[in-house]
Structure 1
Amino acid sequence: MAPSLPATAEPTAAGWGAIDAACERLYGDQPPRHVGYIPGRAFGSVLQGCSAYRADDHWHYVTYGLSNLFDENEGENDGLSGWGYELTWRVRDLASEAQAPGWPFTVLQRLAKWASDSGVLLEEGSRLTIGSPVTGYPHTDGPDTHLTGILLASDPELGEIDTANGRLRFLQFVAVDAESLGLAQERGSARVLERLGQADPLMVTVVGG
């Protein structure tokens, strides 16, 4: 999946390859559905792309671009690769189970851009109040849903890896309703995430149907 670079280009795609390798440990040689964002990170986009892998009963989305994908020399950054994380999202859209739905690609891109433009460093336990369906409905092809907030958790399978460009953690979107978001604001995200993880260790976002 890593894009080829011109023979004269000095940067390598070591960061990209490290993400690929982490996903391959879970999904073997399964070809993902990959979406490249235009115009691309080098020309102003926050994300370079996003891949969706088929898991047992859901799709697993993984972004490329918040970490340092190509250039090994990015200066002092406390041992982190770029922002130090990539985003993931486990989605089961009951109306679109045969193929990876398109709306998570759009939502991930928009929220990554918001965090970057706002200078917000996302981390485990971060809370995002969307205030409207997390699927982007009605502005995307995503379904309507009562889930209007997002908590950030460490991806339970991808976790954290070391790359040639520094450490990288995979932060998973966990969509929640207004009640759970309020509880997280009152008592802390960890308590809500623990409860959700007990019910579903992978914390899959289920919508549609």
Structure 2
Amino acid sequence: MSQEENTSGWDAIDAATHALYGNQEPKHYGTAIPYMLGGPDPLNGISVYRVETPTPHWHFVTYGFSELYDKETDDPDHSGYGFELTFRLLRNVEEEEPPAWALNLLQNIGRYVFNSGNIFHPGDYMDANGPICLGSDTLLTALAFIEDPDLEEIATPNGAVKFIQMVGVTCRELETIQTWNTRGFLAACAGFMPKYVTDLIRNSYVDIPVVEEAVTRGIEQEGSSTAFLFIQQLEWTSVHQETLQNAEPAVLQVGAKQARLIGRILRSRTAKGDSLSLIGPNVNITFKAGDEPSFQENENNVTLIVNDAAVIELMEKLKPKAQTFELNTLPGITFRIVRTEITDPDGNIIDTIG
């Protein structure tokens, strides 16, 4: 960086970490070739701090989701995407360098944001569809996002920047988050995961009695915060009929991976009178609570009205296996569950569900 270059955004992040860690010199991993010039890494850099409390861990802080230099966007209130990511990873006592996989994970998240334009907020989650540390046997296959417990939002000359911490979670924990909400679940686990430090070798927390009780209570009181589910294998075949006597039922197809989850979230949502929308490549299907089960088609949008009996029956039948069934409580629709193939980043099939 030249002396004439405006580094006010970068300096603001440095000031926030300096207030937390004083004169500790972080291990900094910069990018040799900028992303805009064809470099492979979208983030300008990642600083990593060595932390001893509440448990020894590495604290990663990104540089690049916000505007580090001159103001480029038209949004005066937010710098760039309005956030930087952090990540806390359990550190072995003999470790002198943070593991490269964690740096790669943060850069991969950067690629996702830069390529899709989708940004993260505290309370969000993401299914990694495999171990967050590629090649390991960790149970952590998803990420939750929460405010960093030590780095508060900062004001920079380019706008506000939040520090959002990624937290590794298991598949079952992700389902629990989707059935309830991220903040509630992480708060329930805080006693076992201080400062939300990610531990690759831990087991799932969902079966710990105090966590299980908090989850059950939270779902009963609050329902689910998941209003939308994006489902790649979602399909809808319309009713084809010439006469009512020759009517064939409509067909709703979902993948085996999401089948059970849909039932759990649907019950949590409708119990509070909330709707659930399934978003697929070519159709959107919205479940709404009502007294008389029915469905209505409107081009690529389908609305299903379900009562308690229909939700319970659907929840009982939505299993992660290939099958076809109908509901006594919601006639006129055939439900089809198809196998889901899990692939790695290169498109190779690594697992099959159903």
Gaps of 5+ in 1: none
Aligned pair 1:5/2:7, yes or no? no
Partner amino acid for 2:196? M
- In structure 1, the residue matched to 2:14 is 20
Q: From 175, 184, 203, give the equivalent of 2:196.
A: 203
1:199 alignment partner, SS class: coil
Give the whole-Å Cα distance in 2 for the aligned partners of 1:38 and 1:145. Answer: 31
Alignment: residue pair count: 197
Superposition deviation, residue 195 in structure 1: 1.4
- In structure 2, the residue matched to 1:179 is 172
Query: Relative contact order, CA 8 A, sep 6+: which one is greater?
Result: 1
**C-alpha RMSD over aligned residues:** 1.9
- In structure 2, the residue matched to 1:33 is 27
2:20 alignment partner, SS class: helix
Which string of whole-angstrom CA distances, capped at 9 and with x for unpartnered residues, describes residues 165-204 of structure 1? 1100001001001111000111111211211224333100
Give the whole-Å Cα distance in 2 for the aligned partners of 1:113 and 1:125. Answer: 20
Superposition deviation, residue 91 in structure 1: 0.5
- In structure 1, the residue matched to 2:219 is none
- In structure 1, the residue matched to 2:86 is 88
Gaps of 5+ in 2: 203-354
Partner amino acid for 1:195? A
Q: From 110, 113, 116, give the equivalent of 1:112.
A: 110
Superposition deviation, residue 144 in structure 1: 3.2
More deviation in 45-54 or 189-198? 189-198
Give the whole-Å Cα distance in 2 for the aligned partners of 1:42 and 1:70. Answer: 14
Structure with max Cα Rg = 2
Which string of whole-angstrom CA distances, capped at 9 and with x for unpartnered residues, describes residues 90-138 of structure 1? 0014486333222111110011111221111111111110021112x22
- In structure 1, the residue matched to 2:60 is 61
Q: Which runs of 4+ in 1 moved over 6 A?
A: none
On the 8 A contact 1:95/1:208 being kept in 2, the answer is no
More deviation in 190-199 or 159-168? 190-199
Give the whole-Å Cα distance in 2 for the aligned partners of 1:42 and 1:24. Answer: 29
- In structure 2, the residue matched to 1:43 is 37
Give the whole-Å Cα distance in 2 for the aligned partners of 1:83 and 1:14. Answer: 16
1:14–1:78 CA distance, 2 compared to 1 (3 A): closer
2:138 alignment partner, SS class: coil
Which string of whole-angstrom CA distances, capped at 9 and with x for unpartnered residues, describes residues 134-156 of structure 1? 12x22xxxx43110010000000
TM-score by length of 2: 0.53
On the 8 A contact 2:76/2:158 being kept in 1, the answer is no
- In structure 2, the residue matched to 1:122 is 120
